[in-house]
Chain A
Amino acid sequence: MTGAAAFLRRLLRNRLAAAGLILLVLVVLLAAAAPLLPLADPDATAPVRRLAPPFSEGAWLGTDTLGRDILSRLIWGTRLSLAVGISASLLAALLGSVVGLVAGYAGGRTDALLMRGIDTLMAFPYLLLALAIVAALGPGLLNALYAVVAVNIPFFARNVRGAAAGLRNREFVDAARLSGMGGLRILLSEVLPNVMPVIVITLSTTIGWMILETAGLSFLGLGSQPPQADLGSMLGEGRRALINAPHVTAVPGVMVFLIVMSMNLVGDGVRDAIDPRLRSGLPARPSAATRVARATASVPGAAVPAGAAPGEPASGALLAVSDLRTAFEGPSGPVDAVKGVSFHVMPGECLGIIGESGSGKSVTALSIARLVASPPGVVRGGTVRFNGADLLALPAGPLQRLRGGRIAYVFQDPLTTLHPLMRVGAQVTEAIRAHAPVPAAEAGRRTIELFAAVKLPDPASMAQAFPHELSGGQRQRVSIAMALANDPDLIIADEPTTALDVTVQAEILDLLDALRRSRRLAMIFISHDFGVIARICDRVAVMHRGEIVETGEARQILARPRHPYTRRLIAAVPVLGRAREILRASERAEELP
């Protein structure tokens, strides 16, 4: 299967994981070849030759307290430790996954019963349960293996159950049910393949631990019994000669370390290779402001994109964006999301930017105050002049004062854009105090005034609420209050009503419109919805594939779109009262170039 090959390629591209894999393969080969190698008998004692140092004749790694050959014991011990550790991991993975799958998929009482059992196992501090089991079964390698399996089952059961329970209510499982598939078939062919990555990740990240634990039990004398040696018992026995002959413990210690480290490296690599979020490159921490890397040849007005309205910086414009280019860095170089966009906003004016998903409208909006996540975002060209100053050239300090000060944002989904763990009042108060040295009590009072201004009921007690306690409309009112906190000149609203019901949307639009007029705010309103833009904006810019294809008076563009894309788009919008037209109109519109 190509999937496996692609997976291996991704894994090996990670240099650390590749190194770990090579080391691990070498160790496993060495252990597997133990019977073929010309090694001394690992259990043959020779009291005369006890504690020989490394590089002695006939004993490369020296001998232990009973004069046994350490090299031979090391290789045979590694073989035993690997065999026990790996079997324990596979057993724990199998049993834990079965429990987790059944609990997660069945849900209800089965789930509650199984997970209560798992919780009880997890109520024991890890190694202690293993000790208790060995205490009951008696010391011995096999009993140590059972103990390690038992204490590791909960990890698999919990992870797999979480994944399976998440899938149980996914729509494709419902769809499979409606396609006539039975419960067991759904579990095996729909749920299991999607849970498999979780099992593999859990296995690859815990196998190192399990090797350590079996070694640890042997170290305590509860695992392998003399004369049979695994790495743990070699360490335990060598302790007695720690001071005179440190190599007796160092040799198995280093081996355990190398095995566990290589397994951890491979495990991390496997996790990164499987985790879909990491497939498109490493997730990087977004920095405080979008990186600006403008080409030196950015001569203003040199290249006005054809078909777009020229962004002549109208005199007196509050904001003038010209030839803005924002790109996202990908594995094969930067990909432009915004390709030379120019527009301006006059004081007190509302400019709508409309476009479908992927048109670059949000990236344009975020580029203004350099809030595009960076990396991967980078502004590659153009200027953003606000009151004459180029925001793209501004150092961090002044940019910070501008954000939330003169330029404020309202984002789409207020549930994710408000801090989930802070009271909403505190979040607004914080915005006030970030810009003005106001005492806390005074800022709190102003917050309540703002909440009243955005028509939140009972503003004082509302300020004490957490975001999840409010409705979607109330949360968006909080966001708007936060944007108003420092009397900005410009509000940039990025799809502020998309997540809301239509009646709530109407209320929020009315509020924004009223606030804008009473406070003489300029506004940039991003939306995919013509109706919304028409209701609130004076002018509109239509974006398509990173470019503005048309700008003009909102009513005029809607009535007489000039650009074919705009025409096609408007024809596709169902209008209440004559929505049936789109079933015919779209046919005609698609014939346009």
Chain B
Amino acid sequence: MAAYALGRILALVPVLFGLSLIVFLIMALIPGDPALAILGPYATPENVARINRDLGLDRSLPVQYLSWLGNVLSGDLGRSYSLNRPVLDEVAERFSATLILAGTALLLASVLGLLAGIVSAVRQFGLADKLVTLAVLVGISLPSFWLGLLLILLFAVRWRLLPASGMYAIYGGGDLADLLRHLVLPAVTLAIVAAGVIARLTRSAMLEVLRQDFVRTARAKGLGEGRVILGHALRAAMVGVIPVIGIQAGFVLGGAVYIETVFQWPGIGRMLVDAIAKRDVLLVQGGVLVVATCYVLFNLAADLLQRLLDPRIAP
């Protein structure tokens, strides 16, 4: 296991390298004078001179990349000209808000999706299965940004049960209960699609596994149905479900962009959309780099969990 973990961690090096290259190229490929593009409306002559010096924009691309990479590795993501503060500070602050939202949503989606998928498989063609199938179909077909608007209209405007926006708790403005109240609507909206995908996959994985020979063996040795399904079948089905939860983490992080926009959640998604509108390229670059790196690490964790469950994966 330790060898496997080390192997996986080392295998991340080229992926992270590629990732940094793509993020760097995004800035490098912007048409026109990069300094003007980066600075946009803040392109005073002093600023242009300074950014050209800071980023070495007058040098060749590989040299620029190396110096940029050096800066990134030492924790310097540059300075946001629209906010006039270090990119890293802004990203760190915003990303913690996104993590609360996306983490809650992923947890919710995994629990709901697994439960619904198992029930649906066990009661195949029954009423529960039909309801789950319908709910999944609706869930994965709804545009989450519209669903968010609908929920605001119903829960916040019409029934005044939950707040639609204004989450400041993580800045010290409120207590945990206040945070949770603000979290309900966006987290549920964000979780619905992922829950649908996970439920669907759990169902088909369970049905696939339940037809396999070793399930017949479990029955042949006299185990009860509960143990056959939860002890034997689910265990094997999880091997297929965990990577999908890993992928869904990416969808949830991405989907957070919509949800944060709809619910005015002060996360990194909204920051990115604002930064793109203001053409604050360094902020976009830093945000994308940090989120993608975290996503890669999350998938590493999913890989290791997978390996714990499935000893057949080569060490």
| Chains A, B in direct contact (C-beta < 8 Å) | yes
Contact with A along B235-248 (1 / 0, CB 8 A): 11001000000000
In the assembled complex, B251 has its CB within 8 A of some CB on chain A:
yes
Q: Which residues of B contact A358 (CB under 8 A)?
A: none
Q: Which residues of A contact B157 (CB under 8 A)?
A: 242-243
- A482 adjacent to B221 (CB under 8 Å): yes
Please give the distance in Å from A58's CB to the nearest CB on chain B. Answer: 26
Distance between Cα atoms of A242 and B151 in the complex (Å): 11
Contact with A along B220-235 (1 / 0, CB 8 A): 1111110110011001
In the assembled complex, B29 has its CB within 8 A of some CB on chain A:
yes
- The 8 Å CB contact of A403, one of B137, B150, B222, is B222
Distance between Cα atoms of A120 and B292 in the complex (Å): 10
Of the listed stretches A29-37, A383-391, A415-423, A450-458, name the one at the interface; the rest are far from the partner chain. Answer: A415-423
Contact with B along A276-291 (1 / 0, CB 8 A): 0000000111101100
Q: Chain B CB within 10 Å — which of A135, A219, A221 has the most?
A: A135
Q: Which residues of A contact B138 (CB under 8 A)?
A: 261
In the assembled complex, B281 has its CB within 8 A of some CB on chain A:
yes
In the assembled complex, B67 has its CB within 8 A of some CB on chain A:
no
In the assembled complex, A300 has its CB within 8 A of some CB on chain B:
no
Q: Which residues of A contact B258 (CB under 8 A)?
A: 216, 219-220
- B217 adjacent to A419 (CB under 8 Å): yes
In the assembled complex, A90 has its CB within 8 A of some CB on chain B:
no
Distance between Cα atoms of A124 and B251 in the complex (Å): 10
- For residues 146 through 179 of chain B, which have their beta carbon under 8 Å from a beta carbon of chain A? 146, 149-150, 152-153, 157
In the assembled complex, A131 has its CB within 8 A of some CB on chain B:
yes
Q: Chain B CB within 10 Å — which of A134, A212, A249, A435 has the most?
A: A212
Distance between Cα atoms of A243 and B152 in the complex (Å): 9
- The 8 Å CB contact of B261, one of A220, A371, A401, is A220
With both beta carbons as reference points, the residue of chain A lying nearest to B22 in the complex is identified as A120
- The 8 Å CB contact of A219, one of B22, B121, B145, is B145
Instruction: Please tell me the size bucket of the interface on A.
Output: 35 or more
Distance between Cα atoms of A119 and B222 in the complex (Å): 44
- A417 adjacent to B312 (CB under 8 Å): no
Distance between Cα atoms of A437 and B227 in the complex (Å): 16
- B141 adjacent to A208 (CB under 8 Å): yes
- A264 adjacent to B140 (CB under 8 Å): yes
Distance between Cα atoms of A132 and B143 in the complex (Å): 21
Q: Which residues of A contact B255 (CB under 8 A)?
A: 127
Please give the distance in Å from B137's CB to the nearest CB on chain A. Answer: 6
With both beta carbons as reference points, the residue of chain B lying nearest to A486 in the complex is identified as B222
- B254 adjacent to A417 (CB under 8 Å): no
In the assembled complex, A408 has its CB within 8 A of some CB on chain B:
yes
Please give the distance in Å from B190's CB to the nearest CB on chain A. Answer: 12
Please give the distance in Å from A555's CB to the nearest CB on chain B. Answer: 31
With both beta carbons as reference points, the residue of chain A lying nearest to B283 in the complex is identified as A135
- B15 adjacent to A253 (CB under 8 Å): no
Main secondary structure of the interface of B (DSSP, over half): helix
Q: Which residues of B contact A420 (CB under 8 A)?
A: 214, 236, 310, 312
In the assembled complex, B272 has its CB within 8 A of some CB on chain A:
yes
With both beta carbons as reference points, the residue of chain A lying nearest to B254 in the complex is identified as A127
- The 8 Å CB contact of B292, one of A123, A265, A289, A411, is A123
Of the listed stretches B52-60, B76-84, B205-213, name the one at the interface; the rest are far from the partner chain. Answer: B205-213
Please give the distance in Å from A236's CB to the nearest CB on chain B. Answer: 8
In the assembled complex, B66 has its CB within 8 A of some CB on chain A:
no
In the assembled complex, B18 has its CB within 8 A of some CB on chain A:
yes
Q: Which residues of A contact B284 (CB under 8 A)?
A: 131-132, 135
Please give the distance in Å from B234's CB to the nearest CB on chain A. Answer: 11
Given contacts A123-B296, A404-B222, contact A257 B142 (CB under 8 A): yes
Q: Which residues of A contact B19 (CB under 8 A)?
A: 120, 123-124
Distance between Cα atoms of A409 and B23 in the complex (Å): 59
Please give the distance in Å from B271's CB to the nearest CB on chain A. Answer: 11
- A485 adjacent to B18 (CB under 8 Å): no
User: How many residue pairs between the two chains, A and B, have CB atoms under 8 Å in the bound complex?
Assistant: 234
Q: Which residues of B contact A131 (CB under 8 A)?
A: 257, 272-273, 276, 284, 288
Q: Which residues of B contact A124 (CB under 8 A)?
A: 19, 22, 250, 288, 292, 295
Given contacts A128-B288, A131-B276, contact A371 B216 (CB under 8 A): yes
Given contacts A126-B250, A253-B150, contact A132 B288 (CB under 8 A): yes
In the assembled complex, A468 has its CB within 8 A of some CB on chain B:
yes
With both beta carbons as reference points, the residue of chain A lying nearest to B136 in the complex is identified as A264
- A242 adjacent to B149 (CB under 8 Å): yes
In the assembled complex, A117 has its CB within 8 A of some CB on chain B:
yes
Contact with B along A463-505 (1 / 0, CB 8 A): 0001010000000000100100110000000000000000000
Please give the distance in Å from A475's CB to the nearest CB on chain B. Answer: 12
Given contacts A116-B18, A253-B146, contact A373 B216 (CB under 8 A): yes
In the assembled complex, B42 has its CB within 8 A of some CB on chain A:
no
- B143 adjacent to A242 (CB under 8 Å): no
Q: Which residues of B contact A401 (CB under 8 A)?
A: 222
Given contacts A132-B288, A136-B30, A220-B257, contact A123 B216 (CB under 8 A): no
Please give the distance in Å from A584's CB to the nearest CB on chain B. Answer: 40
- A128 adjacent to B253 (CB under 8 Å): yes
Distance between Cα atoms of A136 and B227 in the complex (Å): 54
Q: Which residues of A contact B23 (CB under 8 A)?
A: 132
In the assembled complex, A593 has its CB within 8 A of some CB on chain B:
no
- B210 adjacent to A285 (CB under 8 Å): yes
- A419 adjacent to B218 (CB under 8 Å): yes
In the assembled complex, A10 has its CB within 8 A of some CB on chain B:
no
- The 8 Å CB contact of A431, one of B143, B222, B224, B235, is B222
Q: Which residues of A contact B227 (CB under 8 A)?
A: 434
Please give the distance in Å from B285's CB to the nearest CB on chain A. Answer: 8
Distance between Cα atoms of A253 and B254 in the complex (Å): 20
In the assembled complex, B44 has its CB within 8 A of some CB on chain A:
no
- A421 adjacent to B146 (CB under 8 Å): no
- B223 adjacent to A371 (CB under 8 Å): no
- The 8 Å CB contact of A127, one of B141, B257, B279, is B257
In the assembled complex, A346 has its CB within 8 A of some CB on chain B:
no
In the assembled complex, B311 has its CB within 8 A of some CB on chain A:
yes
- A431 adjacent to B137 (CB under 8 Å): no
- B222 adjacent to A419 (CB under 8 Å): no
- B214 adjacent to A416 (CB under 8 Å): yes
In the assembled complex, B124 has its CB within 8 A of some CB on chain A:
yes
Please give the distance in Å from A415's CB to the nearest CB on chain B. Answer: 9
Q: Which residues of B contact A289 (CB under 8 A)?
A: 219
With both beta carbons as reference points, the residue of chain A lying nearest to B262 in the complex is identified as A239
Given contacts A117-B18, A120-B19, A420-B214, contact A408 B223 (CB under 8 A): no
In the assembled complex, A125 has its CB within 8 A of some CB on chain B:
yes
In the assembled complex, B135 has its CB within 8 A of some CB on chain A:
no
Distance between Cα atoms of A121 and B288 in the complex (Å): 13
Please give the distance in Å from A411's CB to the nearest CB on chain B. Answer: 7
- For residues 268 through 315 of chain B, which have their beta carbon under 8 Å from a beta carbon of chain A? 272-273, 275-277, 279, 281, 284-285, 288, 291-292, 295-296, 299, 309-312
In the assembled complex, A133 has its CB within 8 A of some CB on chain B:
yes
In the assembled complex, B122 has its CB within 8 A of some CB on chain A:
yes
In the assembled complex, A256 has its CB within 8 A of some CB on chain B:
yes
Distance between Cα atoms of A261 and B142 in the complex (Å): 8
Q: Could you list 20 A-B pairs, sorted by A, with CB under 8 Å?
A: A120-B22, A126-B253, A131-B272, A132-B285, A220-B273, A235-B146, A242-B152, A260-B143, A285-B207, A286-B210, A371-B216, A404-B222, A405-B222, A408-B221, A413-B213, A417-B216, A419-B214, A421-B310, A434-B223, A468-B312
- 9 closest residue pairs by CB, A with B: A127-B254, A120-B18, A404-B222, A404-B221, A253-B146, A261-B141, A125-B253, A125-B250, A126-B254
Beyond the given A286-B211, A430-B231, please list 10 additional residue pairs across the A-B interface where CB-CB is below 8 A.
A117-B18, A120-B18, A129-B22, A132-B288, A216-B145, A235-B145, A235-B146, A239-B149, A409-B220, A419-B232
